[in-house]
């Protein structure tokens, strides 16, 4: 007895996409934080050998979604899916071997798994494989291979790879040195928000490397990077404010950017502050005091902090007067002296320093 064609088609349409539909339903459940439903769907499929289900179950174990976080279990599921050629799982296996998460660190295995995913066009894997070639981890160091894999990922729009390809062109590593090409790739990454690439675009405009000099453009790109807390950009933006290049000359702005960079541990920023402080700039002296008090980009030395706070305080700078008062109140870098602390808090409060006024009010409270 023959089966009608329309009935046969109905059976095929109902059965063929069931696995994909079910994994999709599981993903929807994960989005809703309904992990129990997702696990109920995924586990049977994964045990039956469905690669996407295995990968998704691995992610749940990696994230601790509906199950205790278990990197080893995540690795096992990623590997099962990766062995079947699931590119995202291959990439995850490579990552876990690279950092030694759930399994012993093994750069050779990391490179092998990254390559499997990279050859399928996964841009993250292409980028990471390129990085391994740069540093010779798991593969022989080979800048040409690095540039090759960076280009594959960069052509797909992967910002980190675009930045690294720009670096290769700037340094002439694996490709002929070409500042114009370098700038072009830096710009692509910078427009995607890559902070280091934004810094490099700013540097290119400041130095005329691969593009005509333009201090205003340099300042713009340094600012974008600096606002993402990339300390070299904060330092260079501060320098532009000192010089009045691309921005109006403004030492207060310079000090603020130098302070931010110093706070992130950039020792050159402390040097920049010291230069302004030595010239008698009170905000710079106060900021330099902060670097010594907190150990930003230097060894923590309370006595040096006090020295610089005092110089700025004697110039009438209210924040420094407040900071000097704090040091006297705590006995840091000086002998504890409540009377001296009160004196400096009062002088700062008279200039409208709210923090100093709060200290005075607290001292008055019985």
pLDDT > 70: percent of the chain: 94
With cut-offs at 50, 70 and 90, classify the pLDDT of residue 159. Answer: very high
User: Domain coordinates of the chain in residue numbers?
Assistant: 270-366
The angle, 0 to 180 degrees and rounded to 10, between the axes of the packed helices 318-330 and 282-294 is 30
For the chain, the average pLDDT equals 93
Q: How far apart are CA 251 and CA 106, in angstroms?
A: 50
pLDDT of residue 1 exceeding 50: no
pLDDT at residue 9, rounded to an integer: 34
Task: Express each pLDDT in 91-121 by its tens digit.
Answer: 999 999 999 999 999 999 999 999 999 999 9
Task: Express each pLDDT in 176-206 by its tens digit.
Answer: 999 999 999 999 999 999 999 999 999 999 9
Nearest to 91 by CA among 113, 119, 58: 113
Long-range contact list for 10-17, CB < 8 A, 24+ apart? none
pLDDT of residue 8 exceeding 70: no
CB of 141 closer than 8 Å to CB of 132: no
Per CATH, the architecture of 270-366 is what? Alpha Horseshoe (1.25)
Q: Taking residues 163-169, report their average pLDDT.
A: 98
pLDDT at residue 365, rounded to an integer: 67
pLDDT at residue 300, rounded to an integer: 96
| Residue 39 in tokens | 């696990």
Task: Express each pLDDT in 51-72 by its tens digit.
Answer: 999 999 999 999 999 999 999 9
Q: Taking residues 224-235, report their average pLDDT.
A: 98
In the DSSP assignment, the letter for residue 141 is: -
The angle, 0 to 180 degrees and rounded to 10, between the axes of the packed helices 107-118 and 123-135 is 140
Collect all residues with Cβ–Cβ distance below 8 Å to 298 and sequence separation of at least 6: 267, 270, 291, 292
Of the candidate ranges 16-25, 190-199, 276-285, 346-355, the one whose mean pLDDT is the lowest: 16-25
pLDDT of residue 5 exceeding 80: no
pLDDT > 90: percent of the chain: 91
Note the pTM of the prediction, 2 decimals.
0.86
pLDDT at residue 84, rounded to an integer: 97
* Half-sphere exposure of residue 354: CA atoms within 13 angstroms, side-chain side: 0
């Amino acid at each position: 007895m023959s089966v009608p064609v329309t009935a046969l088609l109905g059976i095929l349409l109902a059965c063929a996409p069931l696995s994909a539909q079910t994994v999709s339903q599981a993903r929807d459940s994960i989005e809703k934080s309904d992990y129990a439903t997702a696990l109920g769907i995924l586990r049977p499929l994964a045990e039956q050998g469905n690669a996407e289900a295995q990968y998704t179950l691995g992610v749940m174990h990696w994230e601790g979604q509906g199950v205790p976080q278990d990197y080893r279990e995540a690795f096992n599921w990623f590997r099962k899916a990766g062995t079947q050629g699931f590119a995202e799982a291959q990439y995850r296996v490579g990552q876990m071997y690279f950092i030694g998460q759930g399994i012993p660190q093994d750069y050779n295995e990391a490179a092998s798994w990254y390559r499997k995913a990279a050859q399928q066009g996964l841009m993250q894997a292409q980028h990471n494989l390129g990085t391994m070639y740069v540093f010779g981890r798991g593969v022989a160091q080979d800048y040409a291979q690095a540039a090759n894999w960076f280009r594959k990922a960069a052509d797909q729009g992967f910002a980190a790879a675009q930045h690294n390809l720009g670096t290769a062109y700037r340094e002439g590593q694996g490709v002929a040195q070409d500042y114009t090409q370098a700038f072009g790739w830096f710009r692509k990454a910078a427009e995607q928000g890559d902070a280091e690439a934004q810094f490099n675009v700013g540097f290119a405009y400041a130095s005329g490397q691969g593009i005509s000099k333009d201090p205003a453009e340099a300042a713009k790109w340094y600012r974008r990077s600096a606002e993402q807390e990339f300390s070299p950009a904060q330092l260079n933006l501060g320098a532009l404010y000192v010089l009045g290049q691309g921005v109006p000359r403004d030492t207060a702005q310079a000090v603020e950017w130098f302070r931010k960079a110093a706070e992130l541990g950039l020792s050159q920023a402390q040097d920049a502050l010291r230069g302004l402080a030595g010239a008698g700039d009170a905000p710079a002296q106060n900021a330099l005091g902060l670097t010594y008090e907190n150990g930003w980009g230097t060894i923590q030395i309370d006595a040096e902090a006090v020295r610089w706070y005092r110089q700025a305080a004697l110039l009438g700078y209210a924040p420094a007067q407040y900071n000097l008062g704090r040091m006297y109140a705590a006995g840091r870098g000086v002998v504890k002296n409540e009377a001296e602390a009160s004196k400096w808090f009062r002088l700062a409060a008279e200039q409208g320093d709210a923090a100093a006024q709060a200290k005075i009010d607290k001292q008055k409270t019985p």
